């Protein structure tokens, strides 16, 4: 059973991730290391090719190119030495905390607060990789409750497992506003024009994730989302209406109103 990493959202809702254990992280690292060996091999071959080419040119022109070999070898050594930092830093920066190895293993790095990895943290967490590979420091993830290595401590990050449950990219894809048997608000287009694109995105995110929210806090989250929407719609929650159903109604009304999302403010 892998430990859970919990955090509080600004709406005081408790969410969590499953932390990646040392075996899963090691498996991801092995895959990345194999890719890294291939990249390093290409560096070396490229360096040899450049040196040979320069020397052939020098012989043909009966000229000697001072220090070319030394500069090329120095550059290749620098790239070789920093290749691990560049490899992990680049992929975690550009691929939402996921390297090729992590992707295959279903892992990704996130901020300790549960949020998306920042560019600074992506590079910072890889500065200590030369130290992390020393056998003595392999014990650090084993004794830490969050399975963090030294780089995670430095950048305030954790590695978690990706959510594997299947959710539709479009919430309520099988429903439409016209198919609702009960409409608590019966919204007009003029009312919907008072909403914003970010309201729609917030509703979409809620509808994708609400099943993972603890029941004890789901009602509070629904009320926090609904209050500003009702204010902008200039209406009130009808007696007996369930907040969750009203949120779904507003979402479907926005989604199914032709051209609405292109016209409302961001």
Q: What is the pLDDT of residues 189-239, one digit of tens each?
A: 999 999 998 899 889 888 988 888 888 889 999 999 999 999 999 999 999
| The pLDDT of residue 1 is above 60 | no
**253: nearest Cα among 174, 170, 175, 198:** 175
**Residues 11, 17, 19, 25, CA torsion sign:** negative
Q: For residues 131 and 191, state if they share a domain.
A: no
* Vertex 214: Cα angle to 222 and 175 (nearest 5): 55
| The pLDDT of residue 32 is above 50 | yes
* Vertex 122: Cα angle to 116 and 123 (nearest 5): 160
Q: For residues 152 and 254, state if they share a domain.
A: no
Domain membership of residue 41 (yes or no) is yes
Total tally of structural domains belonging to the chain: 2
Last residue of some domain: 132, 161, 190?
Answer: 161
What pLDDT does 42 receive? 83
Domain membership of residue 216 (yes or no) is yes
What pLDDT does 151 receive? 93
Residue 54, H or E segment: helix 22-60
For residue 186 the two structure tokens come to 């019966």
Domain membership of residue 166 (yes or no) is no
Q: For residues 37 and 103, state if they share a domain.
A: yes
Domain that holds residue 136: 4-161
Last residue of some domain: 137, 161, 185?
Answer: 161
Q: For residues 25 and 126, state if they share a domain.
A: yes
Domain membership of residue 230 (yes or no) is yes
Domain membership of residue 167 (yes or no) is no
Average pLDDT of the segment spanning 67-78: 66
Domain membership of residue 171 (yes or no) is no
Q: For residues 130 and 237, state if they share a domain.
A: no
Domain membership of residue 168 (yes or no) is no
Residue 71's alpha-carbon distances to 9, 50, 66, 75, 201, in angstroms, are 52, 11, 10, 6, 53
Residue of 155 and 165 predicted with greater confidence: 155
171 three-class SS: coil
Last residue of some domain: 135, 161, 187?
Answer: 161
Q: For residues 199 and 70, state if they share a domain.
A: no
* 256: confidence class by pLDDT, cuts 50, 70, 90: very high
């Amino acid at each position: 059973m892998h430990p859970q990493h919990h955090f509080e959202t600004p709406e005081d809702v408790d969410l969590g991730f499953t932390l990646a254990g040392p075996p899963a992280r090691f498996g991801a690292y092995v895959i990345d290391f194999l890719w890294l060996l291939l990249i390093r091999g290409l560096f070396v071959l490229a360096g040899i090719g450049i040196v040979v080419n320069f020397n052939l040119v020098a012989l043909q022109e009966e000229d000697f190119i001072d220090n070319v070999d030394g500069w090329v070898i120095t550059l290749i050594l620098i790239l070789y030495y920093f290749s691990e930092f560049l490899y992990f830093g680049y992929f975690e920066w550009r691929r939402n905390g996921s390297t090729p190895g992590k992707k295959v293993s279903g892992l990704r790095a996130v901020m300790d607060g549960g949020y998306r990895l920042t560019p600074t943290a992506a590079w910072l967490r890889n500065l200590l990789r030369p130290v992390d590979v020393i056998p003595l420091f392999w014990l650090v993830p084993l004794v830490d409750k969050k399975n963090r290595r030294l780089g995670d401590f430095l950048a305030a990050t954790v590695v978690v497992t990706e959510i594997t449950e299947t959710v539709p990219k479009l919430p309520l894809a099988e429903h439409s506003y016209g198919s609702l048997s009960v409409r608590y608000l019966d919204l007009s287009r003029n009312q919907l024009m008072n909403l914003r694109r970010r309201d729609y995105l917030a509703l979409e995110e809620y509808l994708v994730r609400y099943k993972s929210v603890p029941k004890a806090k789901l009602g509070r989250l629904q009320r926090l989302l609904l209050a500003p929407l009702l204010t902008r719609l200039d209406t009130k929650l009808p007696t007996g209406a369930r907040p969750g159903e009203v949120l779904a109604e507003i979402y479907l009304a926005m989604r199914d109103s032709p051209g609405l999302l292109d016209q409302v403010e961001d």
